[in-house]
Structure 1
Amino acid sequence: MSLFLAVQIIGIYVAIQISAFEVIPVAETVPAVKGFLLMFAAATALFLVLIKFFKRRLGFMKVLMAFIIFVGSETVFSVIFSELTALLLALSLVVIRFTYPTILVQNVSLILALAGVGATIGLLFNVSTIFIILAILSVYDIIAVYKTKHMLTLFKGTLDSGVPLALIASEKLSDMGSELKKATLKTPTTKREYTFLGTGDVAFPLILAVSALRTGFSVSAFVIVGGLVGILIIHSLLIYGKGKPIPALPPLAACTMGAYLLASYFLI
C-alpha cells in the first residue's frame, strides 16, 4: 500500500507543478480512446510474439524499462531541479537500476517513473476518456488472467528476464535489499513471499486522480482514497485465493471511478 501511495502523492505533486506553468491541451475522447487501445493492442501482441520466440533473450524489455524510467523520472526531477540536473539524475537512475538490480532499486525507479508518466498522461486525458479506457481494460484484464492467461505469460516472461514491470512488496522489510532475481512467483499452495503490483495497476489510478484535479483537489484526493480501498480489496482476494494471480485492475478501476463519482456529487 505504501508503494502505491508513494506513486500517487508524487504524481499529484508533479501534475500540480506542471499545470501551474504550462497549459496542456486535452485530447478529445473518441480519438484518444481509439489511439490508446490500438497502441495497447499492438504492444501486447508484439510482447507475446517476442516472449514466445525469443524466450529469455528479451533485451528489448530492458530498453523499454530504461526508457520508461528515464522519461518518467526526468519529469519528476524537472519540477524540482534545473533541466540539465533533471536529465543527469534520470540517467543516473537508469544506470543504478541496471547496475544494482535489487528490489529496493526496482521500486524506487518505478515509483519515480510511474509518477512522472502517470502525471503527464493524466494531464492529457479528460475523465470521460479515462473512464472508458479503464472499463475496457478491466474486462481485458479479467479475460487475460482467467481465460487466455496470456497476461501471466507476459509477466513471467519479464520476471524471468530480470525486468518485471511491477512494484514488489514483501512482508519483511529486510527483503527490500535482496537481489531482484530472488523475487519469484511461488505455486499457489505455498505462502507468497512477494506480492507484485503491475505498473498499469498503479499508473491508472494516478492518471484518473490527475485528470480529476480539473474538478477539484478534494475530488482527486478522494480518487486516491478509492485506490487505497482497491488495494485492500486486492490484498484480501490474494489471501482468500491463497496467492493465486488475480486481475488487479477491475477492483482498482471500480473503486477509483466510484470514488470520483461520489466526490463529484457530494463535494462539488
Structure 2
Amino acid sequence: MAGFIVAVQVLALMMAAPMEAGGMQAFEDPESVWNPVYYIVLILVFTAFILFVIKTDKKYILHAILLFAVAATMYYVFLAFIGQIPSLIITALLTVLLYKFPEWYVIDITGILVGAGASAIIGISLAILPTLILLILLTVYDIISVYRTKHMIELAEGVMDLHAPILFVVPRRKGYSFIEQSDAREEDGERGAYFMGLGDAVMPTILVISASTFLPVAYPDLPLVFGYAILPALLAAAGTLAGYAVLMLVVMGGKPQAGLPFLNTGAIIGYAVGCLAAGVPVIPGMTGMV
C-alpha cells in the first residue's frame, strides 16, 4: 500500500508545475484561510449525499457522478502532459474500461492517476497555511467519522460494490477478482484483499505539492535535493510514509482505523523538520516559526 502513496506523490510532483502553468488552480486566492473551510463543507455535503443515496438504494446516481468526476480529473492529468484531443481520447478509453471492466488493477491504475491529479490541483491551489489548516481539519473529521459517528465505515462499505477508483486494492491471494466480490469479506469471513482509501494518499500529498509550489516563490534560494524537489516537500513525503508505517502497526489489531491522523501528522512533522533543516519558516512570512 505504501507503494501507492509513493506513486501518487511522485506523479503529483511531476504534474504540479505544468498544471500551475496551465492555470488549473481550484481557488483564485491560494492564501485565503477560508479555502479549507469551503473544502470541508463540500466534503460534508457530498458525504451526506452519498449516505442518502446508499440508504435510498439509488447507487446508480452515485456511480454516474463518480465516473464523471474520475473522467474529469484524468483529463486534467493527461492535459498536463499532452494536448486536448489525445487527453480526451485516453480519458474516454479509460473511463469506458473502468465502467465495463473494473478489476482491481484497473481500479489501482486509475486510482493513482486520479489521486495524483487531485493532489496536484489542490496543492497548487492552497498556500502553506491553508493547507496546514485543511490537513488538521481533515484529521479531526476522520477521527470523528471513524470512531464516533462511524459513518465513514458505513460509507466505505456502501460504495464497495460500485467498483469505483476511490480506494486501492491489493489481493491477498492469486486469482482474486474485485468484480466478483461485492463485499469486503469473502464467505469464510476473511478479507479477499487489502483496501486503502484514495484520500489516505491524496490528503498528505497536498502538503507535499503546496510546499514544492509556494516555498520556492517565497524563498527562491531553496535548492532542489537531487535536482528533484526541495527538502521540506521531500520530508513531508517521507513523513507520510513514516505515519503509514505506524498506522500499519495499529491496523494489525484487526479493527478499522482512521488513516489521516497518522498520515497527515507524519506529513506535517516531516514538513516542519524539512523547513527547520532548510532554515526557512514553517509558514512563509512568519519568521518566528523557523
Instruction: Give TM-score scaled by structure 2 length.
Output: 0.82
The answer to whether the Cα contact below 8 Å between 2:243 and 2:262 also exists between their aligned partners in 1 is yes
Which residue identity does 2:136 align to in structure 1? A
Q: Residue 38 of structure 1: which of 38, 41, 53 is its match?
A: 41
Q: Could you tell which deviates more after superposition, 23-32 or 40-49?
A: 23-32
Residue 260 (1) aligns with residue 261 (2): no
Is the 8 Å Cα contact of residues 184 and 194 (structure 1) preserved in structure 2? no
Partner of 1:182: 181
Matching residue of 2:85: 84
SS in 1 for 2:168: strand
225 and 153 in structure 1: CA distance in 2 versus 1, 3 angstrom threshold = same
Q: Which residue of 1 aligns with 2:199?
A: 200
Identity %: 25
What residue is the counterpart of 1:141 in the other structure?
Answer: 142
> Which residue of the partner structure matches residue 223 of structure 1?
236
2:247 to 212, 234, 239: 234
Partners of 1:183 and 1:267 lie apart in 2 by 48
Deviation at 1:171, TM superposition (A): 4.3
Q: Report how far residue 68 of structure 1 moved.
A: 2.5
CA distance in 2 between partners of 1:58 and 1:190 (Å): 25
Structure 1 residues 23 and 104, CA, compared in 2 at 3 Å: closer, same or farther?
A: closer
CA contact (8 A) 2:33 2:129 kept: no
2 CA distance for matches of 1:223 and 1:258?
7
Deviation of 1:22 after TM superposition, in Å, equals 4.8
1:136-165 CA deviation, whole Å, 9 max, x = no partner? 221121121111111111111101333362
Describe the SS at the equivalent of 1:196: strand
- Find out whether 1:17 has 2:18 as its counterpart: yes
CA distance in 1, matches of 2:22, 2:92: 24
Q: Distance in 1 between matches of 2:241 and 2:180?
A: 28
Contact kept, 8 Å, 1:97 with 1:105, in 2: the verdict is yes
Between the aligned partners of 2:13 and 2:81, the Cα distance in structure 1 is 14
Contact 2:33–2:133 (CA under 8 A) maintained in structure 1: no
- Residue 183 of structure 1, CA deviation: 6.9
Tell me which residue corresponds to 2:166.
Answer: 165
Q: Please identify the structure whose Cα radius of gyration is greater.
A: 2
C-alpha distance after superposition, 1:225-252 (max 9, x if no partner): 111112212221111x12x211001100
Query: What letter is aligned with 2:40?
Result: L
Partner of 1:248: 259
Partner of 1:122: 123
Following superposition, the deviation at residue 196 of structure 1 comes to 1.6
Partners of 1:186 and 1:234 lie apart in 2 by: 21
Post-superposition CA distance 1:108-140 (Å, at most 9, x none): 111111111210111011121121121122112
CA RMSD of aligned residues (A): 2.2
Q: State the shift of 1:190 in Å.
A: 5.9
Cα offset, 1:94, TM superposition = 0.5
Give the whole-Å Cα distance in 1 for the aligned partners of 2:23 and 2:145: 38
Q: Evaluate the alpha carbon distance shift between residue 9 and residue 163 of structure 1 in structure 2; reply closer, same or farther with a 3 A threshold.
A: same
Q: Cα–Cα, structure 1 residues 89 and 16, in superposed 2: closer, same or farther, change >3 Å? A: same
Distance 2:237 2:39 in 1: 23
Distance 1:48 1:75 in 2: 28
Instruction: Specify the code of the residue in structure 2 equivalent to 1:205.
Output: P
2:121 partner letter: T
Residues 180 and 23 (structure 1), Cα distance of their counterparts in 2 relative to 1, 3 Å cut: closer
Q: Is the 8 A contact 2:9 2:205 kept in 1?
A: yes
Task: Mark the runs of 5 or more structure 2 residues left unpaired by the alignment.
Answer: 217-228, 280-290
Counterpart for residue 56 of structure 2:
53
Q: Confirm or deny: 8 A CA contact 2:79 2:87 kept in the other structure.
A: yes
Matched residue of 1:180: which SS? coil
**Cα separation, 2, equivalents of 1:227 and 1:42:** 27
Q: Distance in 2 between matches of 1:11 and 1:255?
A: 18
**Aligned counterparts of 1:50 and 1:89: Cα–Cα separation in 2:** 30
